[in-house]
Amino acid sequence: MYSYKMSNIVRYSNIEAPMKFLRKYKISVLFCISGILCLIAYNTIGSYVDGNGFLVEPFGFIPLFWLFQLLALVALVVTFVKHRKVQ
């Protein structure tokens, strides 16, 4: 990682800053992307009414979306607090 110091503040190049963020919060980003994929899958599969009048839909993706978003938030807060105490 190429960095230089400017008045005791480490500056990173434009490419390295997002990568450093992704390395630090990778579990949170993974949970967030998984939740978004569940929401996309729910909307893509869609729902319909079968011949007996029952609604058929992939309902399991809705709670999975909220579970992944909650886990992403918890992982984000835990990682933020952990790295804040280190500095």
pTM value is 0.71
Do residues 68 and 35 touch, judged by C-beta distance below 8 A?
Answer: yes
Q: 5 pairs with which residues across the strands? A: 10
For 10-35, write each residue's pLDDT tens digit: 555 566 766 777 778 899 999 999 99
Average pLDDT over all residues of the chain:
84
